[in-house]
Amino acid sequence: DLKRVKCPMMAIFGWNDVQVPAVPNEFLLKQNYRGKNLETIIYPSHNHFMQHCSGPTLDYGIIEQTIDPKVLGDMLQWVKKR
C-alpha cells in the first residue's frame, strides 16, 4: 500500500523504540515511498511515544513526559510548510 502513497509524508522514529526500530523501518519507508516529498527524522534519545528515555526499554509507565515538545514543534513546522 505504501507504494501507492503520493502525498507529502513526515515519518518520525525514536532511536530507542523497541516496537518499531528506527533504522530498518526508515530504510523500508524510503525504499517504498513513491511520492516526491518525504521527510524522516530519527530522534536519538526517544522511545516509541517520542518521550526522552535513557535506553531501549519499555519504561513508559515511569516517564512523566507525554511527548517531547521538540517533536511536536517539528511536526507543527512540517505542517505549516505545506
- Burial (Cβ within 10 Å: 0-12, 13-18, ≥19) of residue 41: middle
**Residue 12, strand partner residues:** 41
Check residue 23 and give its pLDDT. 97
Per DSSP, what are the bridge partners of residue 38? 9
With a cut of 70, list the residues of the chain below it in pLDDT.
none
pLDDT attached to residue 48: 94
**pTM score, whole prediction:** 0.89
Burial 1-40 (b: 16+ CB within 10 A, else e): eeeeeeeeebebbbbbbeeeebeeebeebeeebeeeeeeb
pLDDT at position 58 is: 76
